[in-house]
Amino acid sequence: MQSVFDGHNDVLLRLWHHERDGADPIAEFKDGISSGHIDAPRAKAGGLAGGLCAIYIPSGDLVFADPDRNGHYATPLAVPLERAPSLDIALEMAAIALRLDRAGAWKLCRTTGEIRDCMEKGIFAAVMHMEGCEAIDADLVALETFYAAGLRSLGPVWSRNNVFAHGVPFAYPSSPDTGPGLTDAGFALVRECNRLGILIDLAHITEKGFWDVAKTSDQPLVASHSNAHALTPVARNLTDKQLGAIKESRGIVGLNYATAMLREDARSDANTPIEAMVRHVDHLVSRVGIDCVGLGSDFDGATIPEEISDAAGNQKLIAALRNVGYAEADLVKLCRENWLRILASAWKEGSATRASQY
């Protein structure tokens, strides 16, 4: 079984929702439930050794547009969120992450050495990520606090605008070039993430924002859960030109399992074959090389192929990749080593990129 380090999931969002309904997030993750995608038992069954676990502030007003008779759709951007309630929710999710760590349900990791140690010991290796920085002030005071709590990765923006950047809408067919990029505060955020050693994720940003980060950041370019625009032309996917920039920076693109980003018709339909996932991996590898592709499932945040179903089904994708000719050394890179190299670089670890034998 190949151990997987996943570039993106929304398990904290699910646990936060369920806690508000009276559930115990520690027991839910540690013991497992039948709904959702990730908990400790299903992660272990599918070889999911850890991943970037997102703090995401939901947009309650967002209603996805229905496709027209041609299958096209364009969901307007969610309205910007106020900072104070966003900060409250972000702190609640961070508290769940810290409580899971204290309870031994997972390990909140701050170095790749800690991630590798968790892999050896069979402990879920969680990295605190922020998907959209509505909880962060323009002066970046809160960033220091979240960093101290374990934040090691962030996306400046989700698919809505904020003080730092502009996001892409959920639209098909659509270019990712849908509006402005970073604001002045966004450029400052990128520079401060570079200084602290916080990975910058470009998954939801406009194409203009992508290039703004590319010219400002000293890190490899990262799109944690995005696919190939050439195969599925939704605004959230990456053009071949963007993929070329990721290759040049020795960055990474994480395969998103969301069916709306895999299918040629961009529909959110669980009846989507694993072959669609393989097709995107093939295209990504052809454009950026085997060293710059990973997995970014979007578990607990999207409709995924029913053949995968949840974290326990990860090895089905790996088996499908093996069946079309990916060697074990390639699978090691796709499943974890490419992500660990990127994290070591963003976190300024130097020599912490040794090959894994797990």
Where is average pLDDT lowest: 68-72, 275-279, 349-353? 349-353
pTM of the entire predicted model:
0.96
Does pLDDT of 355 surpass 90?
no
Residue with tokens 């810290």: 98
- Residue 323: closest CA among 357, 358, 277: 277
Does pLDDT of 38 surpass 90?
yes
Cα gap 127→115, rounded to integer Å: 9
Cα gap 230→4, rounded to integer Å: 26
Residue pLDDT, tens place only, 39-48: 999 999 999 9
Residue pLDDT, tens place only, 83-129: 999 999 999 999 999 999 999 999 999 999 999 999 999 999 999 99
Residue 290 DSSP class = G
The structure tokens listed for 91 are 């702190």
Residues paired with 223 in a beta bridge: 253
* Mean pLDDT computed over every residue of the chain: 96
- Residue 31: closest CA among 50, 44, 20, 17: 44
E-assigned strand segments in 149-190: 151-155, 170-172
Residue pLDDT, tens place only, 55-81: 999 997 788 899 999 999 999 999 999
Cα gap 312→24, rounded to integer Å: 22
Does pLDDT of 358 surpass 60?
no
Give residue 219's identity as a one-letter amino acid code: Q
Cα gap 78→132, rounded to integer Å: 12
Residues paired with 127 in a beta bridge: 52
Average pLDDT over residues 133-157: 98
Give residue 178's pLDDT band: very low, low, confident or very high (50, 70, 90).
very high
Does pLDDT of 238 surpass 50?
yes
Q: What pLDDT, on the 0 to 100 scale, is given for residue 62?
A: 81
- Residue 186 Cα distances to 107, 192, 235, angstroms: 30, 10, 21
Give residue 185's pLDDT band: very low, low, confident or very high (50, 70, 90).
very high
Residue pLDDT, tens place only, 204-232: 999 999 999 999 999 999 999 999 999 99
Secondary structure element (H or E) that encloses residue 43, with its range: helix 40-46
- Residue 16: closest CA among 78, 103, 111, 86: 86
Whether the link from the prior residue into 173 is cis, omega within 30° of 0, is: yes
Average pLDDT over residues 328-350: 97
Residue 216 DSSP class = H
